[in-house]
Structure 1
């Protein structure tokens, strides 16, 4: 028996869908087109919050039924620079070189639009990579996994072997902070079924 959705997820990310399913609220998808372009003086945290909010509001405008719309965005930040998805192999390998043997921040913002409101949350997690060889980076790039990931890696896949330590939310690094998202859904009256 399929349950009627109680909300929409405005995301094409399979990882976000898998994580949201763990919160036991049936959902459907809406896929708004939102340009991801950081303003010249926009702080990383403000940027990722704005993207999540823009996606939630754009999703609400597309939603076929008046249900809450959840959206999120994830960025990787190192030395104040935002590392989004790599453009190509050269860019992806440059990202991995920057991350090798050091720490960076993963920022995931979630936003929920409902009843004319939009509320959000930002979760920042510190991730430390072990040192990687050039051969490891190339082999990892050639796996295809990094091509569509913020920062050029996926902690939940092959890229997890480079992660020496995390301080914060693992699920936020994957793309949807479970604890904070559940609290957001609870505040909107969306209890688990």
Structure 2
């Protein structure tokens, strides 16, 4: 049985500054492009039979530079919609809401482009993606190129955990991870592997 290869897009200006970047469509930095190119070798050693990519330019460019075929753009792979926290750092949010933590306190509503999304809604999107790619093919792997918080939620759901437990899976930009099975049960086979 194939495995699920998850790739977090390369660095952007906002990810470098630790600003919440949900639906704002930012390009990769020069470093981010380098991270994406550096993933090419590790991905080329795998038999990837299907690739789904977030609609965000940063994810699509990462897939392109990493040598992944763009089989399809999947709107459910968008990052968490941070609502009124779009573009804001956690440190700044905590100045107004001491002790705030995304995984337990969520987001506040934003404007029409960033209305905000609950953790449960992110989890439902992750479940929808998993339903579309599973069962995994026998002849190779499926790659998903998307965003940090979303992929963490997807990993929790892969393991049968509640979406909030995505908080346990820190994920850096420009990395790949592998979700697989052992004795027919979902496991994390590799996590947060930086480009070589």
Greater length-normalized contact order (CA 8 Å, ≥ 6 residues apart): 2
More strand by share: 1
Fold shared per TM-score above 0.5: no
TM-score calculated relative to the size of structure 2 = 0.26
TM-score calculated relative to the size of structure 1 = 0.26
Greater radius of gyration (CA): 1
